[in-house]
Amino acid sequence: MISTGLTYLDTLTGGLKPGDNVVWQVSDGVPVEHFIRSFFNKATEFNDNIIYVSFNFSPHTIARRYDYLFQGTNAILIDAFTHGKGNGDPVFLEFYRSGDHDPDRYRCVENPKSISSFVSMMNDIEMRNRERTFYIFDSLTGMNELWKDERAALDFFTFTCPKLYDLNTLAYWLLGREAHTREFIAGIMQVTQIVFSISSSDMDYYELKVHKLDGRTPLFGVQPNYFKIINQEIHFEEKKTPEIFRIGEKVRNLRKESRITQAELAGSLGMTPGAVSQIENDIIMPSLSTLVQLASIFNKSLDYFIGGPEAARGSKGHVVSRNNPRVSSPHRNVEIHRMMEPDDPVMKPFMVTITGDRAVDGPVIFHKGKEFIAVLKGSIKITIDGEVQVLDQGESLLLTNSIISRWQNMSDPECKFLYILY
C-alpha cells in the first residue's frame, strides 16, 4: 500500500497501488493542491521523479505553488499553458527568458494546441519516465478548453490511463466538477482506478466523496467525508455511522468473545488492522461483501448486523416475516415487496426488482429520510445529485441527504436490491 499522506484517506480507500490513476473532480474554489502536498509530505518511492503537466496555470504560478517539488525533487514541468491558454504572452515567456530556471526541468510546449504533437511528446516522456514516477495532469478541463474537443480530451485519457497503469506509475488527474458532460464523466469512470470529488459544503468544512475504488473494498461508499484545511494541512472530521446499525459495537464484541485480535480479523477480511479499528469504532461502514464475510466468520446472519438492537438480542426478541406483500408502484417495470409486516417504526425494508432497460425517473418509493441500498442480483445505474453511479452485485450505498433521480437496470433480465428506509 502507498500512502496518500492522509491516515483517514488511507483507511477509507486502503491506500494507493502502483499503477493507480486517481481522478479528482474539483469544485471551484476548493484547494486540491493540499492533497498533492500531503502525498509528498509522506516519504514514498514515488517522491523522487515527478512530471507535472500544466494546462491551467503559468510556470510562475506552478513554481511558486509547488516550490517544495521543484526545489527538492527531480520534478519536471510540462508547460502547456504558456503557448496554449496563455497565447504566448510576453509576461509568461519572461519566466524562460530570465535564465533563472533550469530548461531541463521547465519545458515549454511550443504547440500544445496540436493534439497529435502533444500526444507524441507525452508518449516520449512516458517511455522515459516509467516505474515509480508520479504524474500530475492539471487539468483535463484545461485540456478540453484548449482543444475545444471533449472527445479528444477523453480519448487522451482513455489511451494514457491504461498505459500509465501498465508502467506502474501513479497519476493524479484533475478536472472541474461541473465542467463536463455526463458522457465524459462516464468514460472517465469506466477506465480509471479511483475517483474522488471534493467540493464546498454548507458548513465550515469541505466535502470529499469516493466514487470509485477499483480492485479493493470500498469502506464507506459515497457518503460525504468532511475536512478542514488548517495551516495548509488537511484535517478530516471523524464521522459516526447511524445509531440504527451499531455495526462496529457488534463486531468488536464478537471479536473479543472469539478471542481474536484486530490484526487476525483484518487478515481474514483482507484489509488493514486500521480499517478494522475504524469499523469497530463506527467511523466507517463496511461494504455488503465485508458484512457477508463477518457473518461467516462469526456464524451470524446478516440481519444480526443490520437489523437493529432486536436482531442482535436473538432469542430475547425477534420477528420472522414470511409474507412479503407487493407494494403498488407508479412504474410498470418496478416490482416492490415489503419485507417486514407490520413496519418497524424505525426501519422499513423492501425488496425491489427492476426489469428491462427503460430508465425510471424520480423516486422508487417516496420517502423523506435516510436510505440504504444493497444490490443482491445484477447491476443498477443510478443518478445521485447529477452524478452517475453503477452498483454491482454485492455493492451497497448509504444515502444521508442525497436524492436518486434516475434508476436503470443494467442486467438481463433484471436487477434486484434490498432497499431500507429509516
* pLDDT tens-digit series, residues 69-81: 887 668 999 999 9
Give the residue, 68 or 343, on which the prediction is more confident.
68
- Reference 350, options 369, 336, 335, 333; nearest CA is 336
226-260 pLDDT, tens digit per residue, is 898 888 899 987 654 444 457 888 898 899 889 99
Joined grid coordinates for residue 196: 474522488
Mean pLDDT score of the chain: 85
Strands 225-230 and 233-236: antiparallel
Helix H segments across 180-246? 182-191
Q: By mean pLDDT, which of 83-97, 246-260, 340-354, 379-393 is the weakest?
A: 340-354
> Could you give the domains of the chain?
7-236 (3.40.50.300), 247-316 (1.10.260.40), 326-421 (2.60.120.10)
Rounded-to-integer distance, Cα 246 and Cα 133, Å:
42
123, 251, 301, 317, 392 from 314: Cα distances, Å = 61, 15, 10, 6, 31
Mean pLDDT computed over 160-169 = 94
Q: By mean pLDDT, which of 172-181, 235-244, 356-365, 373-382 is the weakest?
A: 235-244
Model pLDDT, residue 16: 92
**Per-residue confidence band for 367, with pLDDT thresholds at 50, 70 and 90:** low
Provide the Cα torsion 29, 30, 33, 38; round to 10°: 160
Q: What is the DSSP string of 169-198?
A: -EEEEEEETTSS-HHHHHHHHHH-SEEEEE
Residue type for position 180: H
Model pLDDT, residue 204: 67
46, 54, 70, 91, 396 from 97: Cα distances, Å = 31, 19, 18, 10, 56
Model pLDDT, residue 263: 92
How many percent of the chain have pLDDT more than 70?
Answer: 88
Angle, CA of 274, 275 and 280, to the nearest 5°: 95
Give the residue, 327 or 145, on which the prediction is more confident.
145
Model pLDDT, residue 366: 63
Rounded-to-integer distance, Cα 198 and Cα 57, Å:
20
Q: By mean pLDDT, which of 162-171, 364-373, 376-385 is the weakest?
A: 364-373
When computed from its CA atoms, the radius of gyration of the chain, rounded to whole angstroms, is 24
**Per-residue confidence band for 120, with pLDDT thresholds at 50, 70 and 90:** very high
Give the residue, 36 or 370, on which the prediction is more confident.
36
Model pLDDT, residue 216: 67
Model pLDDT, residue 330: 62
**Per-residue confidence band for 421, with pLDDT thresholds at 50, 70 and 90:** confident
Give the residue, 385 or 24, on which the prediction is more confident.
24
Model pLDDT, residue 103: 82
The one-character DSSP state at 2 is B
- The percent helix, strand, coil of the chain (3-state, each to 5) is 30, 25, 40
The one-character DSSP state at 16 is B
* Residue 15: Cβ within 10 Å count: 16
**Per-residue confidence band for 85, with pLDDT thresholds at 50, 70 and 90:** very high
How many percent of the chain have pLDDT more than 90?
Answer: 48
3-class secondary-structure state, position 149: coil
The one-character DSSP state at 401 is S
176-192 pLDDT, tens digit per residue, is 988 999 899 999 998 99
Q: Is the pLDDT of residue 391 over 60?
A: yes
Q: By mean pLDDT, which of 29-43, 207-221, 280-294, 385-399 is the weakest?
A: 207-221
Model pLDDT, residue 33: 93
Residue pair 420/242 in contact (Cβ under 8 Å)? The answer is no
Q: By mean pLDDT, which of 200-204, 311-315, 407-411 is the weakest?
A: 311-315
Q: Is the pLDDT of residue 332 over 80?
A: no
> Given strand 387-392, what is the order of strands in its sheet?
360-361, 404-409, 379-384, 387-392
